[in-house]
Structure 1
Amino acid sequence: MPSGREPARALIGRVASSFAELPDGSVLSGVDGPLGWSGYGAQLSRATELTGEHESVVCGVAEIGGVRAVVVAFEFGFLGGSLGTRTGTRVEQAFTHAREHRLPVVSLVATGGSRMQEGTPALMQLPRIARQITLTRAAGLPHVAVLRDPTTGGGWATLGAGADVVLGLHGAQVGFAGSRVRPPGYSVTQQFAAGLVDQLLPSGELRGALERWLRLLTTPGDRAPVPQALGAGTLPETGWDAVLRARARSRPRAGDYLAAYFDWYEPISGDRAGGVDPGVLCGFGHRDGRTVAYAAQRGTATRPAGFRTAARLLRTANRLGIPVLTLVDTPGAANDAAAEQAGVGAAIADMFTAVAEASVPVTTLLIGEGGSGGALAFAAPDRMWVTPDSYLAVISPELAAAILKREPARARQTADELRLRPQDLVELGVARGIAQLGRSADQATAM
């Protein structure tokens, strides 16, 4: 059975250890609905006989992995999981209950869109639902959406795409236009590739994924401790030595730091605007029983989608009260024609703003190259530490020499003049200290 066609209560029973349905206060206008659509009342009766439900969503409070959450589960067997006026009322009641009781929300979406038999009144449920999502977001409560087969129309454009974390089940059709409007339908895999879905999952792994995500999003830490340095234990003698160390393929990268720092972690993906940058890792991880968010560069030129994904991560963490760790490692922002056309300048500005407006603690560790504004956009200027195999400069020594009309051979001298070594950054007040090998995270100090 396709994942979306699984009955709502069966799916809830598969992912939750308990479930209590919320009282239903929804009322249909007239036997045949607000339009008086001939035979609509009979269609509703048949849908109830088929599914045992009285509407296309089942809403209640479930326990998933020890976390209580409000669940909104679509019943696709009830008129294709379509959104009608009673659907909107039920969703509104569920989100209101979540805010009143400070509970996260899980939306298990499987819908063909707005219900034709209720016309424009059905369509008007979309801004109604969007308002509930907005109010819940403003209340600092997390919302996780699961995209089942199919997730189309208004269900995708509100509960699906509007969630903090979007999980997609393999094989699901996901898109604003369904297969009957624009065949063939758009797949969840394509949406993931376009940066609109955070993770792809087999249906059998959904329970574990929800348990992990709910735990991550509801156990914020106080701050992100400074990671231990994993590479060189001594400081570079010259600026050029610092550059060569930072560029060495053998030095530790972001993946090494994340693995050493977290007990376990879950990634998010994409900028929600059509782009994914594999050179930036973002997500949430557990460390000593508490959650820290992370945004980490992987040593490549950061593309617009990378800055936008990191800014999305920062804002989500800030709203949920989760501290953030950023790992800086890039020769600089991508500056090719494609990057310029994709708005790299605006994307960098957005990342600077996301860091500046964060009210949660942001901790930064420079772990490799720190190339100009593309690196600094990821950094918390008042809480930045550096490793012995890193550097930060206004521009690379080679390009600085070229701009100053020097011979290429003078790049080494220029590196010294730029004062880009880790110890230089501490002396200049740019960095608070140097993370050291074999020291606890709280023992990062100036050397």
Structure 2
Amino acid sequence: MSSAHGGGRVSAREAVAALTGSFTEHRPPGHPVRTDGPLGWSGYDDSRARAAARTGEEESVLYGVATVEGLPCVLVSFEFGFLGGSLGGRTGDRLEAAYALAGERRLPLVSLVATGGSRMQEGMIALIQLQRVARASAGLRAAGLPQIAVLRDPTTGGGWATVGAGADVVLALPGAQIGFAGSRVRPADADPYAYSAEGQLAAGHVDAVVPPGELAGTLGRWLTVLTAAGPAAAPVPAALSDTALPETGWDAVRQARAAERPRAGAYLDAYFDFRLPLNGDRCGGTDPGMPCGAGLHGGQAVVYVAQCGTATRPAGYRTAARVIRLADRLGLPVLTLIDTPGAANDAEAERAGAGAAIADTFAAIAAARVPVTTLVIGEGGSGGALALASPDRTHVTADSYFSVIAPELAAAILKRGPEDVRATADQLRIRPQDLVELGVARSVVGPAPLPGPP
């Protein structure tokens, strides 16, 4: 996609046109502008005039109401050709007005960001626009309205640290430069990958890198999911195997640890019509063993958090807590799938705050006002599994178990020998049917019935 303003970058209006043919631009009320800006910066008026002549825009941001894939939203687009897409006082006016419009119309806000940060010629007046944006964004969060950011090239400085990173869903275009430090102010020996869309994805600060040709469809799916709030709990998934209930506690462990047992990926694929990832803990970490996201199940929006059979890392718990709180704020039901031998307990996990991360996940589940549905599909290892369990909507499959601790570790703590592990498993009462009898689980879920003849 070529740019009308040179440099190979797409203009603000080209970015809008690539998503929608339905865009009604809005403008905030006009304000008197002092000659050469609030600082009296010599030549600033001339710089603005040249930028306006070059781009055809009055300011570095335009906004209005649009439909993307048939779904309404307030759309904000940055014009990098206008003084590097920088934020000044009048940019702040437009951004604040865009957030207000989204609140008034009860619409999601989608921002197409391309900015070099705050405008030098306006000094601290430019910098305090970040506070205005943060306040406006907080207002939308309090109103339960979703915010999606699309990070174009480049997205740096205060624009990244407010409109971009402050969104509920953060998407990025391939190869986009993203970082708080722009290219002219970062250390000379800095790793460029850390400032790229792909590097930010790997570090858990971006949810997905989306090719331009797929952006409209991806945004349409996100808008569908994030605006489909409803009070209904997520339906319990059907079991994907017809395994019989175990006779002993150790049988339960063996069935849950069987290599052929269906895993979380299979359950998610079977459950969702489509699903979209929410990646990373926003603290520099990801856990591939804890996929999170949102999707549609039979037309109902559901947010999911799933364990994939590995020891869960602190970043996984922090991601889960972030996603559960987002679901709660937007009024979306949550589905959690439990399958872990337990929380990661190595030194690295401790340094990364395993205890605090697990506590935060417990707190997110406990505070959730939306219904949380849980299915234990494999191993339920101690508090590392319980942190994701609904207190009143937990179900189990026949090839799962849930235990205060793994039977081998329980035997070791009780100073029993390896020959006593099986008996210890029986004493712990960890079979699916035991969990129902104890009131820990509501039911043992069976496979979905096969469709009958027409």
TM-score by length of 1: 0.97
Q: Given the alignment, which residue of 166, 184, 199 partners 2:208? A: 199
How is 1:252-263 mapped onto 2 (pairs within 5 angstroms)?
A: 252-263=262-273
Q: Name the SS for the 2:291 alignment partner.
A: strand
Given the alignment of the two structures, is residue 217 of structure 1 paired with residue 226 of structure 2, yes or no? yes
Aligned residue among 110, 115, 119 for 1:111: 115
Aligned residue type for 1:192: L
Matched ranges for 1:20-169 at <5 A? 20-27=24-31, 29-169=33-173
Aligned to 2:319: 309
Instruction: Give the deviation of 1:234 after TM superposition.
Output: 1.4
The Cα shift of 1:26 comes to 4.5
Deviation, 1:386, is: 0.2
Moved more, 345-354 or 431-440: 431-440
What's 1:443 paired with? none
- What letter is aligned with 2:83? L
SS in 2 for 1:131: helix
Counterpart-to-counterpart distance in 2, 1:439 and 1:383: 22
From 410, 427, 445, the equivalent of 1:417 is 427
Q: 1:321 to 1:409 in 2, by over 3 A?
A: same
Question: Contact between 1:26 and 1:86, CA under 8 Å: does it hold in 2?
Answer: no
Counterpart CA distance in 2 for 1:215 and 1:320 is 13
The answer to whether structure 1 residue 394 and structure 2 residue 404 are counterparts is yes
**Deviation digits for residues 27-71 of structure 1 (CA, Å, limit 9, x no counterpart):** 353121000110100111111100110000011001011111001
The separation in 1 between residues aligned to 2:320 and 2:449, in whole angstroms, is 28
Give the unaligned 5+ runs of structure 1: 441-447
Contact 1:25 1:90 in 2 (8 A): no
Contact 2:304 2:336 in 1 (8 A): yes
Give secondary structure in 1 for the equivalent of 2:344.
coil
For 1:216 and 1:106, the matched residues in 2 are separated by 14
Q: Which deviates the most, 200-209 or 121-130?
A: 200-209
Q: CA RMSD in A?
A: 1.3
1:202-260: CA deviation from partner (whole Å, max 9, x where unpaired): 12211111111111111124220011011233100000000001001100000010111
Report the count of equivalent residues.
440
The aligned counterpart of 1:330 is: 340
CA distance in 1, matches of 2:140, 2:373: 27
Shift of 1:24: 2.8
Taking the aligned partners of 1:46 and 1:409, their CA distance within structure 2 comes to 83
Say whether the 8 Å CA contact 1:144–1:164 is kept in structure 2: yes
Q: Give the Cα separation in 2 of the matches to 1:439 and 1:420.
A: 26
Cα separation, 1, equivalents of 2:278 and 2:87? 28
Amino acid at match of 1:90: R
Asked if the contact 2:27/2:94 (under 8 Å) is kept, the reply is no
AA aligned opposite 2:197: V
Task: Report if aligned partners of 1:277, 1:303 keep a CA contact under 8 Å in 2.
Answer: yes
- Residue 17 of structure 2 is aligned to residue 13 of structure 1: yes
Q: Distance in 2 between matches of 1:207 and 1:398?
A: 51
2:293 equivalent in structure 1: 283
Counterpart of 1:371 in structure 2 is 381
User: Aligned partners of 1:396, 1:265: CA distance in 2, in Å?
Assistant: 32
Contact 1:28 1:86 in 2 (8 A): no
Alignment map for 1:422-433 (pairs within 5 Å): 422-433=432-443
* Structure 1 residues 8 and 252, CA gap change in structure 2 (3 angstroms): same
Secondary structure at the residue paired with 1:146?
A: strand
- Distance (whole Å) between structure 2 residues aligned to residue 2 and residue 309 of structure 1: 37
Q: Return the alpha-carbon distance in structure 1 between the equivalents of residues 99 and 147 of structure 2.
A: 10
Q: Within the alignment, does 1:176 sit opposite 2:186 as a pair?
A: no
Tell me: CA distance 1:439–1:357, structure 2 relative to 1, closer, same or farther (3 Å).
farther
> SS of the counterpart of 1:236?
coil
Contact 1:364–1:383 (Cα < 8 Å) also in 2: yes
Aligned-residue offset at 1:405: 0.4
SS of 2:18's equivalent? helix
Letter of the structure 2 residue corresponding to residue 20 of structure 1:
T
Structure-2 separation of matches of 1:2 and 1:269: 30
Q: What is the CA–CA distance in structure 1 between the aligned matches of 2:2 and 2:28, rounded to whole Å?
A: 28
Aligned counterparts of 1:10 and 1:202: Cα–Cα separation in 2: 16
- CA–CA distance in structure 2, aligned partners of residues 43 and 9 of structure 1: 21
What residue is the counterpart of 1:380 in the other structure? 390
- Which sections of structure 2, spanning at least 5 residues, go unmatched? none
Instruction: Provide the C-alpha distance between the structure 1 equivalents of 2:88 and 2:430, rounded to a whole number of angstroms.
Output: 61
Question: CA 1:251 to 1:26, structure 2 compared with 1: closer, same or farther past 3 Å?
Answer: farther
Q: Structure 2 length as normaliser, TM-score?
A: 0.95
* Conservation of the 8 A alpha-carbon contact between 2:23 and 2:65: yes
Determine helix, strand or coil for the equivalent of 1:255: helix
Task: Tell me the distance in 1 between the aligned counterparts of 2:415 and 2:328.
Answer: 44
Give per-residue Cα distances to partners, 1:304-334, cap 9 Å, x unaligned. 0000001111000000000000000000000
Aligned residue number for residue 354 of structure 1 = 364
Structure 2 CA distance, aligned partners of 1:295 and 1:220? 17
